[in-house]
Structure formats: structure tokens, C-alpha cells
């Protein structure tokens, strides 16, 4: 009887804590009887069976026959990743003949990831021993057997409400879908394809640069956001950098989106998707000055929703998709940090945004009433991340620098020469300007200094342009020499500039003026 108490406790823990369910026979009967019980589950993509045997009720021959039968069952299962665990329980130390039959009856096929492993339990000594010498994912069973021995199993009783336990676990493992058809997911995929097709056709018709078109259509562009185009926190989720980018994101949206929309419903799905997309673009705005497009931040938001679902329904998460979701997130983030051109900040921001938005909207009406305080916390954290991210993004060093460049361009258009000179030198002193920005700033600084009569300073800055852009360097020097009436030097520099870039500036016009001045002299 005492042994049956331990078996009952072990069965209860396997079902209640480890999500196993008893195997039913052909007629629907549960395969649990005195001296033997069999339970199963799918975990981390593997099919796992645990058979509990009262080792004192069977002879060594019967144990050997039982293990051979289990081996045949395992070999006939048409899938890889199958693990059969025989837990054989004894009142005291079993005789060596039984142990020999147990050890010899084990089986392992590494190529198919199949194994029949045996673990013995000695109740009198409270000992658990693995009999297999090969690698097998038996740690979960081993730990549970030891944990049950530490409990007061002798007083648990020799009966178990197996049907009640099974019904409770089945209810816990059943997934309720709120939406029957994920039409919002399909709509988003259609919009993504339509927008990409529109941009492609427009590019073919006008010959406009593709990146320029993406910027026009609403790509994340920090300089334009700093100028007040705040819609660029949402529009990038509908844009993609090419056919492959579009295909990958649409496929990912289909795989993850269909499941999330059916779990959460249409409206909540939309909130999660766009919250992930917006927070992803805010994160990108905070940490990256590169132009950004793509739905991947929003798709990571859907993965964040799955993580939140796992927090609400851990049994579902472990049993059905948790392993795959976690691996997908880790692999994508690791790849993003190792490869160029991938906006990992948008991915991480989207993941956080989707998780927090899921906490705000909740999963079902039944659970929402009991989680109002929790939802408030999620809302506060989500709002704090968005507001804090925007504040940091508009005031951090890199975007402050871009803001200076934006102000500089505005001043150049207005001809504010003193301000241009001061701000231009400030921009150059930061050391953050790339080659294009540096050339552009130097050209306007030279122009400002010419207008202010600072010819020596203008010549110094013009010579700084030469190693960055030789054509513009020679051109600005030619203009300076022309303004200081050094016509031969001016002509030499301008001719050199024209040889490097014939379309630069008004070279021919200045050369004509030089010839007229030479003739007049």
C-alpha cells in the first residue's frame, strides 16, 4: 500500500506539475492500473512517455519482456525525438538479476533521437538511480522522483482522483480561440504587398532612386522626424527594402499573426501589432540614425504577445509553442547583432512594445476583470517607455547633432552667413559628421566666409574639402581665388574641378568672367 501511495503522488505530480496525461486505450480506457501506469506529453518538440512499474510485482523475465515490448513501441513511432522512460519502483534494493534485466533492456538510437531509459527507485533508502549510461533528457523525471521522495508520500492515501486530475489538466491545456478567421493579418499582408508594388511601379515610371522613394513614402528618417514628421513612427511598418525583405516579413506575419489574432481577437491584435511597430521605431530613433523600414518590429511585437500569453497560460506555452517562440526570438536577435543592415533596436523595441501592449489589452474578457491592476501597471510601463524613449531620442547626442545639421540647412537657405559660420564650425568640431555632411557643411562655411570677407579662413576650409571631395575642393578654391582676383590660380582650380565633375557649379560662367577680366587688364 505504501508503494501505491508513492505511485499515486508521482502520477499526480506528473499530471499536475509536468503536464503529462495518461494514455488511453483503443476503447478510451485509461492505461493506469495497480502496479503500472503510462502517461505522455509533447515537450520541446519531443514525444515523451513515462511508464511507472511496481518492480516487486514482476519477475526479471516479465520485466525483460515489458522492456522489449516498449522498445518495439518506440521503434514503430513514426517521428524523431521520442523518449520512453521506465520508472521501476522497489520497496528495497532489487536483486542483481532484475537490475541486469533492466540495464540490458534499454535502447538508444542517436540518429533518430530515440531512447528507452530506465530509472529505479528504492523507497526504503529513498534512492533514485539512473540505469542508462547514454545521454537522455531524463533530468526532469529524475528531479521529480527525488522531489516526491522528500514529500510526505506515505500519508497521501492509496487512491487518486485520476479522472478529476485529467479533466482539470485538459481544461488547462485547451486553447480558446477568440477569432475564427484572422482577416486583419491577411489585410496587413495585402497592404504590404500593394505598397511595395506601388513603389516599384512608381520607380520604374520616374526613375527615382529607390531609397529616396522609401523616404518620401514615410521611412523612419531621424532628420525628418526632428523636423516634425512624427507619422514616420508608424508608416515604416508598411514599407520594405526589397522583394526578399517583403517576402520574409509577410511570411513571418502569416505564421505568427494568424495564431496571435485568433488568440487575442481582431481589435486587440491590431493594438498589439501597431504598439510593437511604433515602439520599435521609437527604439530605432533612439539608437540608430540609419533610415529604417519594415514590419519586423511589429512582428516582434506579436512574438512579445506570445511571451505574454505564456505568462498567462504557462502550460499552453510549454506544451505547444514556447520552445519554438523562444528559439525564434533568440536566433533573430543574435543574427541581427552579427549581420549588417538589420535594425535590432526596432526588433527589441517591438518585442517589448508587443509584450506590454498585450498586458494592457489582456487575452479574454473572463481574465480581464481579475487583471485590472495588472493592466494598469502594463499601461504605465508602456507609456513610460514610449514617452521616455521619445524624450531621449529627441535629446541624445546623435539626434542633437542631426538637429544641428537640419538647422544648418535651414540657415543656408536663408543666407544667415554669421550663424552658418558659427554652427558649421560647431558641427565639424563634434567629429560626428560623415563625409557627405562634412563636405556639405564645409561648402556652406566657405560661402559664408566669402560673404563675410574672411578669405583666408575660407581658403583653409576649402583645402579641407579636397581629400573628401576633390571636385568640390578645387571648385571652392577657384571661387575664392576669383573673388580675391587671383585669376590664374582661379582658372587652374576651376579647370581641374571641371575635369573631375563637369556638372559642378557654374564653372563655365566664372571662366568666362576670368577671361574678360584678363582681357580688360
Task: Supply the residues annotated as catalytic.
Answer: 296, 347
Q: To which H or E segment does residue 194 belong?
A: helix 183-206
Antiparallel, parallel or unpaired: β 114-122 and 107-109: antiparallel
24 CB-contact burial (10 Å; exposed 0-12 / middle 13-18 / buried 19+): middle
Q: What angle do CA 283, 284, 286 make, to 5 degrees?
A: 65
Q: Show the cell assigned to 380.
A: 504605465
No. of H helices and E strands in the chain? 23, 8
Distance CA 64, CA 61 (A): 5
Q: Which residue has the cell 505598397?
A: 195
Contact yes or no for 436/416 (Cβ under 8 A): no
Contact yes or no for 237/274 (Cβ under 8 A): yes
Distance CA 245, CA 294 (A): 8
Contact yes or no for 257/185 (Cβ under 8 A): yes
Contact yes or no for 57/4 (Cβ under 8 A): no
CB count, 10 Å around CB of 435?
A: 10
Q: What angle do CA 460, 465, 469 make, to 5 degrees?
A: 160
Distance CA 59, CA 38 (A): 19
Under DSSP, is residue 39 helix (H, G, I), strand (E, B) or coil?
strand
Write a three-state SS string for 153-172: HHHCCCCCCHHHHHHHHHHH
First to last CA, the chain: 124
Contact yes or no for 177/262 (Cβ under 8 A): yes
Cβ contacts of 488-491, under 8 Å, gap ≥ 24: 490/514
Amino acid at each position: 500500500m505504501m508503494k501505491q501511495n508513492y505511485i499515486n503522488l508521482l502520477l499526480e505530480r506528473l499530471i499536475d506539475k509536468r503536464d503529462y496525461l495518461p494514455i488511453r486505450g483503443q476503447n478510451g480506457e485509461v492505461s493506469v492500473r495497480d502496479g503500472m501506469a503510462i502517461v505522455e506529453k509533447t515537450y520541446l518538440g519531443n514525444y515523451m512517455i513515462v511508464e511507472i512499474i511496481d518492480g516487486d510485482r514482476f519477475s526479471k523475465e516479465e520485466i525483460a519482456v515489458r522492456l522489449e515490448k516498449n522498445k518495439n513501441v518506440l521503434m514503430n513511432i513514426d517521428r524523431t525525438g521520442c523518449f520512453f522512460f521506465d520508472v521501476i519502483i522497489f520497496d528495497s534494493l532489487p536483486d542483481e538479476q532484475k537490475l541486469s534485466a533492466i540495464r540490458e533492456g534499454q535502447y538508444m538510437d542517436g540518429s533518430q533521437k530515440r531512447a528507452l531509459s530506465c530509472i529505479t527507485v528504492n523507497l526504503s533508502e529513498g534512492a533514485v538511480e539512473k540505469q542508462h549510461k547514454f545521454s537522455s533528457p531524463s533530468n526532469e523525471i529524475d528531479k521529480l522522483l527525488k522531489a516526491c521522495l522528500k514529500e510526505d508520500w506515505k500519508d497521501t492515501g492509496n487512491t487518486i482522483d485520476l479522472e478529476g486530475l485529467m479533466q482539470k489538466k485538459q481544461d488547462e491545456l485547451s486553447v480558446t480561440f477568440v477569432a475564427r478567421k484572422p482577416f486583419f493579418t491577411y489585410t496587413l499582408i495585402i497592404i504590404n504587398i500593394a505598397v511595395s508594388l506601388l513603389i516599384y511601379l512608381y520607380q520604374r515610371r520616374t526613375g527615382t532612386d529607390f531609397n529616396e522613394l522609401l523616404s518620401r513614402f514615410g521611412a523612419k528618417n531621424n532628420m525628418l522626424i526632428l523636423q516634425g514628421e512624427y507619422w514616420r513612427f508608424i508608416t515604416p511598418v508598411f514599407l520594405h527594402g526589397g522583394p526578399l525583405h517583403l517576402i520574409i516579413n509577410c511570411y513571418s506575419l502569416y505564421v505568427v499573426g494568424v495564431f496571435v489574432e485568433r488568440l487575442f481577437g481582431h481589435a486587440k491584435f491590431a493594438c498589439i501589432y501597431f504598439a510593437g511597430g511604433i515602439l520599435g521605431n521609437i527604439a530605432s530613433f533612439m539608437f540608430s540614425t540609419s533610415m529604417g523600414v519594415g514590419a519586423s518590429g511589429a512582428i516582434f511585437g506579436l512574438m512579445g504577445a506570445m511571451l505574454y500569453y505564456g505568462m498567462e497560460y504557462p502550460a499552453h506555452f510549454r506544451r505547444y509553442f514556447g520552445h519554438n517562440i523562444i528559439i525564434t526570438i533568440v536566433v533573430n536577435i543574435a543574427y541581427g547583432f552579427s549581420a549588417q543592415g538589420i535594425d535590432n533596436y526596432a526588433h527589441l523595441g517591438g518585442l517589448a512594445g508587443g509584450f506590454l501592449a498585450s498586458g494592457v489589452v489582456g487575452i479574454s474578457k473572463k481574465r480581464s476583470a481579475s487583471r485590472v491592476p495588472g493592466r494598469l501597471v502594463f499601461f504605465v510601463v508602456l507609456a513610460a517607455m514610449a514617452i521616455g524613449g521619445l524624450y531621449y531620442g529627441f535629446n541624445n547626442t546623435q539626434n542633437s547633432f542631426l538637429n544641428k545639421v537640419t538647422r544648418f540647412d535651414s540657415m543656408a537657405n536663408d543666407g544667415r552667413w554669421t550663424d552658418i559660420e558659427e554652427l558649421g564650425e560647431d558641427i565639424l568640431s563634434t567629429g560626428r559628421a560623415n563625409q557627405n555632411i562634412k563636405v556639405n557643411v564645409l561648402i556652406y562655411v566657405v560661402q559664408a566666409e566669402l560673404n563675410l570677407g574672411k578669405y583666408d579662413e575660407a581658403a583653409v576650409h576649402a583645402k579641407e574639402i579636397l581629400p573628401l571631395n576633390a571636385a568640390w575642393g578645387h571648385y571652392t578654391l577657384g571661387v575664392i581665388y576669383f573673388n580675391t582676383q587671383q585669376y590664374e590660380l582661379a582658372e587652374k582650380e576651376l579647370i581641374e574641378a571641371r575635369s573631375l565633375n563637369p556638372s559642378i557649379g557654374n564653372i563655365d560662367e566664372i571662366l568666362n568672367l576670368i577671361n574678360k577680366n584678363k582681357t580688360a587688364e
